[in-house]
C-alpha cells in the first residue's frame, strides 16, 4: 500500500472500490426515479446522451464489460483480448423501456456482479494480472476495477451536468457562478 501523501490521489483498495460500486445505483435512482419525462430525456446537444441513455449504457456495462473482462484476464491473461465494448448498445436495448425498469435492472445487475466479484476472492497478486484491451493494449486487473469505479462517477457527473444545463438560461446572471453552466473548469 502506497502512503497517501495528499488527499488528491488514492491507491486502489478492493473494499473501497466495492463501497463506491455498491452505492452508485442507489444514488442514480434517488436522483432520477419519477422525474418528469423532459428531465430524463434531456440532452446536451446532438450525439450526446440523456440520463435515460446513460442508465442503459451502465446496464450494458454490467452485462458485457467489467466482471466479464475480469474473467478474461484471470482465465487468459494477455493471450485473449477483451471483446470490444459497444457504446451504442443501449439505444436498441432501452427502446420501449421505462426508466424505472432500467433503474431496477441496473441495481440488480450491479448487485449480482458484486457478488460474483466477491466470489473470485481476488488477492493483491491477482490485481497485478494483465490482460489485453483491444485498443489500449496491456492493462491490469487493478486498472480495470479502478476504471469501473471512475466510470460510474464519470456518468454521475454527466447525468448531473445534463440536468443542470437545462436551466442554463433560466438562472440569468447567476450563470457566472455556476461552473457546470459557465463551462469553467474547477
Which of 42, 55, 72, 102 touches its own copies by CB under 8 A? Answer: 42
Angle 133-135-136 from CA coordinates, rounded to 5°:
65
Report how many residues bind its own copies under the rule CB under 8 A. Answer: 74
Binding letters toward its own copies, positions 167-186, x by CB under 8 A = xxxxxxxx-xxxxxx-x-xx
**Residue appearing with cell numbers 432501452:** 94
Helices 66-76 and 51-64: angle between axes, nearest 10 degrees: 20
Given the rule CB under 8 A, which of 34-42, 74-82, 89-97, 117-125 is the region that contacts its own copies? 34-42
DSSP 74-102: HHHGGGSBPPPP-TTHHHHHTTT--HHHH
Which of 74, 107, 120, 166 touches its own copies by CB under 8 A? Answer: 166
For its own copies, the binding residues in 54-93 under the rule CB under 8 A are none
Asked if 108 is part of the footprint of its own copies (rule: CB under 8 A), the reply reads no
Least distance CB 178 / its own copies (angstroms): 5
For its own copies, the binding residues in 3-22 under the rule CB under 8 A are 4, 6-12, 15-16, 19-20
Calpha distance 140→82 (Å, rounded): 12
First to last CA, the chain: 29
Binding letters toward its own copies, positions 125-164, x by CB under 8 A = --------x--xx-xx-xxx-xx-xxx-xx-xxx-xx-xx
Torsion from C-alpha of 131, 123, 112, 78, nearest 10 degrees: 10
Least distance CB 149 / its own copies (angstroms): 6
Amino acid at each position: 500500500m502506497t502512503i497517501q501523501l495528499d488527499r488528491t490521489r488514492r491507491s486502489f483498495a478492493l473494499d473501497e472500490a466495492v463501497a463506491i460500486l455498491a452505492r452508485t445505483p442507489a444514488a442514480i435512482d434517488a436522483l432520477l426515479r419519477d422525474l418528469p419525462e423532459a428531465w430524463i430525456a434531456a440532452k446536451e446537444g446532438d450525439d450526446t446522451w440523456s440520463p435515460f441513455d446513460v442508465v442503459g449504457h451502465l446496464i450494458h456495462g454490467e452485462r458485457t464489460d467489467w466482471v466479464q473482462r475480469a474473467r478474461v484476464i484471470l482465465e487468459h491473461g494477455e493471450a485473449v483480448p477483451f471483446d470490444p465494448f459497444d457504446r451504442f448498445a443501449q439505444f436498441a436495448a432501452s427502446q420501449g423501456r421505462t426508466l424505472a425498469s432500467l433503474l431496477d435492472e441496473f441495481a440488480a445487475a450491479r448487485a449480482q456482479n458484486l457478488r460474483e466479484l466477491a466470489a473470485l476472492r481476488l488477492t493483491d497478486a491477482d490485481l497485478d494480472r494483465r490482460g489485453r484491451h483491444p485498443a489500449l493494449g496491456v492493462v491490469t486487473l487493478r486498472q480495470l476495477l479502478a476504471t469501473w469505479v471512475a466510470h460510474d462517477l464519470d456518468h454521475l457527473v454527466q447525468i448531473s451536468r445534463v440536468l443542470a444545463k437545462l436551466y442554463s438560461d433560466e438562472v440569468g446572471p447567476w450563470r457566472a457562478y455556476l461552473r457546470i453552466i459557465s463551462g469553467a473548469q474547477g
